[in-house]
């Protein structure tokens, strides 16, 4: 399509030359091109890129416009193009993760700001659905919990271990109700439906615990992109953004007054996430309760340890680290493909 002297081109993500052009253009804005995108468009003037944008699922990202064209409607053209293409793929809700000094550009296009972490990042959304409708749906899912103070845990459980179970047990003993939010993002070796099922099976004996999907606002590629993709913003920005959303929207909607977590001696990202909780949640009158990680024979229990033992066929030791329900699943025919995938992968998740 020709728009004045500007030509609009869809980038072939398998074409190294085209991708390199986009990457070089983004570098001038201190942005890093993430190749884990579904679609990229670029606007060219005199055969040089002057604007670009991409999306991955619901997340619009890498939006950059040459300064000489800002204020000329080019941002709107890029966003409109991406939303049309996403709509053709059945996507009608959109997030934008951007820098604070650029947020107004998207607010002017109808995007609503959800959370802001200065000086790093702002998350905005548009389209069908909203953080408010998400909170209403979540409140319905936990309405059978007993009245009174509610605790919450956000877990990935890749897979569910005795360590996870111990933190949930502590929360269940100390609170009338517990909401366990399982990270829904498909960025782990164990699929979400398996991870959630193992948590439900491992906590079925508690009548004051509800296990629900975290959804798109809890440690997702929108709220916490670096956890899965090592995005272009810092870990500090990502952790604070995700926790701010939890504190401002999710906790009040669900009646959550405390958040439980196991300490983290290994993963730097998770450790930073815990530290951000201690810094942010008390300002919203949410207690953070950290439980020392339990060990077996001097070895800390962790999901990453279980995955490493799977690679080594260390089934006797695995049995000491996970609930019986998790162990039975791991040894079942249903888990064969996942076990093979773990053995052939060195993924940190």
Euclidean distance between CA atoms 125 and 215, whole angstroms: 15
pLDDT of 258 over the 50 cut: yes
Can you give the chain as a three-state secondary structure string?
CEECCEEEEECCCCCHHHHHHHHHHHHCCCCCCCCCCCEEEEEEECCEEEEEEEEECCEEEEEEECHHHCCCCHHHHHHHHHHHHHHHCCCCEEEEEECHHHHHHHHCCCCEEEEEECCCEEEEEEECCCHHHHHHHHHHHCCCCCCCCEEEEEECCCCCCHHHHHHHHHHHHHCCEEEEEECCCCCCCCCHHHHHHHHHHHCCCCCCEEEEECHHHCCCCCCCHHHHHCCCCCHHHHHHHHHHHHHHHHHHHHCEEEEEEECCCCCHHHHHHHHHHHHHHHHHCCEEEEECCCEECCEECCHHHHHHHHHCCCHHHHHCCCCHHHHHHHCCHHHHHHHHHHHCCCCCC
For residue 25, what pLDDT band results from cuts at 50, 70 and 90? very high
Domain segments of the chain: what residues? Answer: 2-129, 132-343
> Superfamily assignment of 132-343 in CATH?
HUPs (3.40.50.620)
Fold exhibited by the domain 2-129: Aminopeptidase (3.40.630)
Closest CA to 226 of 218, 210, 215, 238: 238
Euclidean distance between CA atoms 247 and 242, whole angstroms: 9
For residue 226, what pLDDT band results from cuts at 50, 70 and 90? low
Using alpha carbons, list the distances in angstroms from residue 68 to 26, 44, 46, 73.
Answer: 15, 13, 14, 12
Sign of the dihedral through C-alpha 115, 118, 121, 124: positive
Q: Span 8-27, mean pLDDT?
A: 96
**pLDDT tens track for 246-256:** 999 999 999 99
**pLDDT tens track for 170-219:** 999 999 999 999 999 898 999 999 999 999 999 999 999 999 999 999 98
Kindly report the length of the chain. 349
pLDDT of 349 over the 80 cut: no
pLDDT of residue 233: 52
pLDDT of residue 251: 98
pLDDT of residue 268: 75
Candidate from 114-128, 193-207, 217-231, 256-270 with smallest mean pLDDT:
217-231
* Residue of higher predicted confidence among 293 and 13: 13
Give strand pairing partners of 59: 56, 95
Q: Span 22-51, mean pLDDT?
A: 91
């Amino acid at each position: 399509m020709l728009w004045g002297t500007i030509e609009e081109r869809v980038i072939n993500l398998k074409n190294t030359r085209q991708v390199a052009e986009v990457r070089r253009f983004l570098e001038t804005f201190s942005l890093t091109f993430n190749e884990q995108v579904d679609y990229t468009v670029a606007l060219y003037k005199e055969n040089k890129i002057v604007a670009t944008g991409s999306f991955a699922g619901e997340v619009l990202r890498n939006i950059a416009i040459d300064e000489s064209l800002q204020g000329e409607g080019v941002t709107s053209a890029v966003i409109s193009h991406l939303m049309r293409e996403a709509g053709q793929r059945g996507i009608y809700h959109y997030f934008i993760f951007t820098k604070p000094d650029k947020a107004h550009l998207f607010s002017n296009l109808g995007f609503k700001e959800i959370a802001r972490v200065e000086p790093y990042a702002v998350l905005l959304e548009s389209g069908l659905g909203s953080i408010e409708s998400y909170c209403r749906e979540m409140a319905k899912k936990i309405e059978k919990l007993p009245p009174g103070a509610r605790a919450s845990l956000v877990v990935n459980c890749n897979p569910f271990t005795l360590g996870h179970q111990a933190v949930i047990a502590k929360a269940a003993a100390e609170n009338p109700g517990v909401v366990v939010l399982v990270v829904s993002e498909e960025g782990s070796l164990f699929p979400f439906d398996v991870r959630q099922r193992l948590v439900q099976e491992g906590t079925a004996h508690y009548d004051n615990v509800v296990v629900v999907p975290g959804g798109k606002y809890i440690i997702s590629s929108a709220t916490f992109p670096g956890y899965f993709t090592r995005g272009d913003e810092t870990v500090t920005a990502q952790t604070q953004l995700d926790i701010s959303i939890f504190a401002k929207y999710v906790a009040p909607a669900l009646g959550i007054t405390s958040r439980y977590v196991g300490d983290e001696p290994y993963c730097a990202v998770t450790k930073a996430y815990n530290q951000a909780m201690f810094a942010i949640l008390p300002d919203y009158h949410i207690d953070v309760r950290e439980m020392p990680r339990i060990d077996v024979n001097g070895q800390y229990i962790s999901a990453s340890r279980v995955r490493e033992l799977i690679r080594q066929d260390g089934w006797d030791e695995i049995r000491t680290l996970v609930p019986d329900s998790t162990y039975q699943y791991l040894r079942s025919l249903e888990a064969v493909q996942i076990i093979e995938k773990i053995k052939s992968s060195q993924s940190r998740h």
